[in-house]
Amino acid sequence: MTDLAKTDLAKTDLAKTDLAMTELPVLVVGGGPAGVAAAVALAEAGLRVLLIEQRDRLGGAIHRQPAVGAPQIWRGPARHRRNWAELASRLEHVAERIELRTSTVFLGIDGAGRFLFDDRMAGRVFARPVRAAIVAVGAVEKIAPFEGWELPGVMSAGGAQVLLKETGRPPEGPIVVAGSGPLLLAVAAQLARAGNPPLAVLERGRPWHKPKALARLMTAGAPLAEAASYAAVLALKRVPCHVGSEVLGVSETGQGLTIRVRAGSAESLLQARHLLIHDGLEPNRAGIPLPAPGAEVPVLLAGDGREILGADAAILDGQRAASAVLSRLGHAASAAPLEAALSKARNFQLALAEALRSKATPPTPQTMLCRCEGRRYADFAALPADASAREIRLMGRFGLGACQGRFCGPMLAELRGEALPTANPPRWPLRPVSVAALANFSTDETES
């Protein structure tokens, strides 16, 4: 009798808690392949989802659409479009369980445990209680700094690619694409298709010197076909692609840029209007708060924001993160053989990294590291080797600017040979937020 009563009481309590908790959504930050895959998987399992995307529509960097009225110059590889169309149709079917907030930026978790968001359209910061979070905010580009990279006319290749997708127009005038990584080929081919083939593509790595890594890449299938299609476009448009070639510095001359290039022991000068630079990708982790394992509200990473594995793997990784959240919340999670596929993508990335592995020429003292605050390599070298996170920020003024270290952070980590010490507690806002919008925050109307 007593036991039964206890059991009933326990059941009632459990039911109540369950009800309260199931009413809360799972947060998914980022509407690219990983985030949408995670949101769909969670919603298909019956959970409510709050999907946050900073842009005005879903798609992420890979499926960035032209702005209204701009021409679509190139739609990307067919398999990416098929994968995306399939995700979009699954999203349709479970749309009633997904609250999509576009033009909204995740600002982080505050000291009271609130998940904060900046509604850029309404100009208001709001908080929403969530039961778990998956952060899938993609990759950031790495740049190996050289003298003059901060000049107008120099921009990241990925940034140029986004502009190209959105405006449908390539930059005007001669372009040089330089650095390291497969994105150089992709961007150069897209520029060529859009009507302005680059003057040259300069890859610092020497893949032909790494036959073993190349052999591993040859088994890749789809990504290899994609690379071949870019190479074909570049060959057709007669764009010279040099390997073992690197930019040492750039200066402004008249209307354009003079680019100092080294290939082996030979140096030469190139004249161009634009220099697009890129040295690989790394997960966008700037300031993203990761509570300790076992925290009340778990936060998981997914997609390129967790590990750079590319767009195909990002979909699988989103599903993997959703499964992990489902099992954390006591739901049955599909045991799809995701790990094997992810491991294949990882092997491809490792082989690619090995094939292109090369050391950038160290920056000169005058080389800019932090554009926001105008801090150079000499300023960084002057900091004590055991400088704390606070000293690097306050005395070095690195990571204090408007980009909040998103750009200089990876450079400094590369130069130090270890990641920068992180601020503790994690800081918010993760992105600059309007004073007026943050002043509009009110605890009384957190449910927007």
Partner 1 sequence: MARSPSLHVAVIGAGIVGAAAAHFLAAAGARVTLLDASGPAAGATGASDGAVSVASKKPGPMMDLARHARAFYGSCEADGLLRGLFHRRSTFLVARTRLEAELVAEHGADLAAAGERVLDVDRPTLLNRIPGLGDGVCFALEIPDDGHALGYEITQRLLQRSAVTVRRNAPVSEIVMRAGQAVGVTIRDELLPADAVLVAAGIGSVGLLGLGDILIPRKGQMVVTDRAAAGRPAIDGHLMAASYLAAKRGIVRDNAHIGLVIDPLVTGQFLIGGSREDHRADQATDAATISAILRDALDLYPPLRQRRVLRTFAGVRTASRDGLPIVGPHPHLGGVTIATGFEGDGICLGPFMGASAARMILGEAPGVDLSMLAPQRFSRAEALA
Place of tokens 């209307």: 255
Question: Interface residues with partner 1 (CB under 8 A)?
Answer: 110-112, 114, 116, 125, 127, 384, 386-388, 390-391, 394-395, 400-402, 404, 424-425, 427-429, 432-436, 438-443
Minimum CB separation from partner 1 for residue 139, in Å?
Answer: 23
Provide the pairing of β-strand 115-119 with 104-109. Answer: antiparallel
Q: Which is nearer to partner 1, 67 or 436 (CB)?
A: 436
Query: Can you tell me the distance from the alpha carbon of 315 to that of 37, in angstroms, rounded to the nearest whole number?
Result: 5
Nearest residue (CB) to partner 1, 211 versus 425: 425
Give the separation between CA 304 and CA 139, rounded to whole angstroms: 5
Residue with smaller CB distance to partner 1, 111 or 337: 111
Nearer to partner 1, 262 or 431 (CB): 431
- Measured N-to-C along each axis, helices 157-167 and 182-193 cross at an angle, to the nearest 10 degrees, of 30
Q: Least CB distance from residue 107 to partner 1, whole Å?
A: 8
Write down the least CB distance from residue 135 to partner 1, Å.
19
Judged by CB, which is closer to partner 1: 434, or 448? 434
CB of 374 to partner 1, least distance (A): 10
Query: What secondary structure does DSSP assign to 195-256, as a single string?
Result: T---SEEEESS-GGG-HHHHHHHTT--HHHHHHHHHHHHHHHTT--EEESEEEEEEEEETTE
**Smallest distance, partner 1 to C-beta of residue 127, A:** 6
Q: Considering beta carbons, is residue 111 or 294 the nearer one to partner 1?
A: 111
What's the CA gap between 290 and 296, in Å, rounded?
Answer: 12
Which is nearer to partner 1, 76 or 421 (by Cβ)? 421
CB of 50 to partner 1, least distance (A): 17
Classify burial at 234, counting beta carbons within 10 Å of its beta carbon; exposed 0-12, middle 13-18, buried 19 or more.
buried
Q: Report, in Å, the least distance between residue 89 CB and partner 1.
A: 37
Overall size of the chain counted in residues: 448
Comparing CA positions, the residue from 192, 275, 202, 276 lying closest to residue 229 is 192
Residue 370 contacts residue 397 (beta carbons within 8 Å): yes
Among the listed residues 154, 140, 142, 149, the one whose alpha carbon sits nearest the alpha carbon of residue 368: 149
